[in-house]
Amino acid sequence: MSKLKIIVGTTRPSRSADRVVPWAEAAAAAHGAFEVEVLDLRDWPLPFFAEHFGTVGDINDPTYSQPLVKAWNRAIQDADAYLVVTGEYNHSVPGILKNAIDTVWLSHAFRNKPVAAIGYSAGIGGGVRALEHLAQIMVETEAVPLRNTVVMPFINDAFDGSGQPTSPATNAALQVLLDDLAWWSTALERARAAGELVPGRIRLRDLTLKAKTAGSPAA
Ligand SMILES: Cc1cc2nc3c(=O)[nH]c(=O)nc-3n(C[C@H](O)[C@H](O)[C@H](O)COP(=O)(O)O)c2cc1C
């Protein structure tokens, strides 16, 4: 079974996430492909990102500025796949979610793992702009953002009294998302087990250094 971590991207009191997450978590657990854990950013009061090389210590097992930062990097590392649940704030992801992603620093914990996402908003946009930004952000972490998302407009009317979506298309979209996530998770677990390339940023630095040395008069 793939270890799936559901990241809850908003934290404010009265958040709509509290209606979206139980429904998504139940569906993910019922899917059969996943061992599911919720990472609620309310339970992870991460500092505003301020790491630097002085806080790292051992680059292969960074200390960071606080134990919570290290624990967060480990919690993200200890997963095969992610499902991000996010509202849309000013046409993007909430700052607290961006901060949590930025805090995964130097550990490459998201690398070569699939990320699916559910977006929602109070208006007709349904969080699509947050989802598009999230995909761009996740590319930089070297995660694999997936094409099929769940978009939930008019979130205040999106669930009935039993906690089920009022639109049948919403459950269908979640099923597609979970099927894709399971497929990608298995595919990438196999690929990682067969061996991973050194992160591109490091290979680029090393190759550039090599080229510079080869071209230097002292070489
Ligand atoms: C700071 C802030 C900015 C928002 N910006 C947008 C926006 O750009 N587009 C949109 O459709 N809804 C926007 N909304 C509405 C939210 O998407 C909606 O309130 C949603 O429920 C927020 O998620 P949460 O309740 O889990 O915090 C905004 C809400 C807040 C609090």
pLDDT at 114: 98
Among 28, 38, 137, which residue's Cα sits nearest to residue 79? 38
| pLDDT tens digits for range 41-60 | 999 999 999 999 999 998 88
Q: Whole-angstrom Cα distance, residue 113 to residue 104?
A: 14
Domain harbouring 144, CATH code: 3.40.50.360
Task: Please give the radius of gyration of the chain, using alpha carbons only, rounded to the nearest integer.
Answer: 19
Number of domains forming the structure of the chain: 1
Ligand 1 within 6 A of 87 CB? yes
For residue 79, the surrounding DSSP H or E stretch is none
- pTM of the shown model: 0.96
Whole-angstrom distance, CA of residue 119 vs CA of residue 63:
33
Give dist(CA 219, CA 212) in Å, integer.
Answer: 9
Alpha-carbon torsion, ordered 69, 74, 75, 78, to 10 deg: 170
Q: In this structure, are residues 46 and 101 in contact, taking their beta carbons and an 8 Å threshold?
A: no
Q: Residue 6: which of 86, 71, 124 has the closest Cα?
A: 86
Quote the pLDDT of residue 16: 98
pLDDT band, residue 219 (cuts 50/70/90): low
* Residue 218 pLDDT class (50, 70, 90 cuts): low
Query: Whose alpha carbon is nearest atom 3 of ligand 1?
Result: 89
The minimum-distance atom of ligand 1 relative to the CA of 91 is: 8
pLDDT tens-digit series, residues 165-198: 999 999 999 999 999 999 999 999 999 999 999 9
Ligand 1 midpoint to CA 29 (Å): 27
Provide the residue range defining the domain that includes 204. 2-215
